[in-house]
Structure 1
Amino acid sequence: MTDRTNASGASLALDGTAIDVVRTVWADALGLDDVDQDIGLFDLGATSADMLSVVRVLRQRWPRLRVVDVFDHPTVAQLAAFLEDAA
């Protein structure tokens, strides 16, 4: 099992394009330098705990984001497009 730090958002910049923000937050949560925007986040090794941490961070910018939205939009590209449409 890989040891990861949960996304706290404390040092992450949340101002930028939705795709850049979502990619950065997910990469941080997974302990990666970057994530492929078209691969499902659970396919990248995300856990439910990672997802909850990411939602908590992303809500700082998109307060209406729901956990189910991440399940419905499981890639960085899909979630970013959803967040742009919801803004």
Structure 2
Amino acid sequence: MRLDRRARILPACCIVVAFGWYATQTVRPPDCTVTYSAFTDGGGHPLSGNGEEAAWDELDERAYQDMVASGQCGPPAARWRHWLG
């Protein structure tokens, strides 16, 4: 009988831990929309402002950090803080 109780508690604990991990991940505010544009090379890879190759994620992060610095967007916070409003 004791094994049966453990068998029910273990999945519940795993679900609680997974939910806690998901809720504490750092994310951007949901109301902050970042837009940017870039020139690309012949292969469709973006070029940074100085003409060197860059990744789309780099350009996105750079544009977001610029918006945070100018006060247009809030800094990233734990996901659960956005759920509370």
TM-score under structure 2 normalisation? 0.25
Which structure has the larger Rg over C-alpha atoms?
A: 2
Larger strand share, 1 or 2: 2
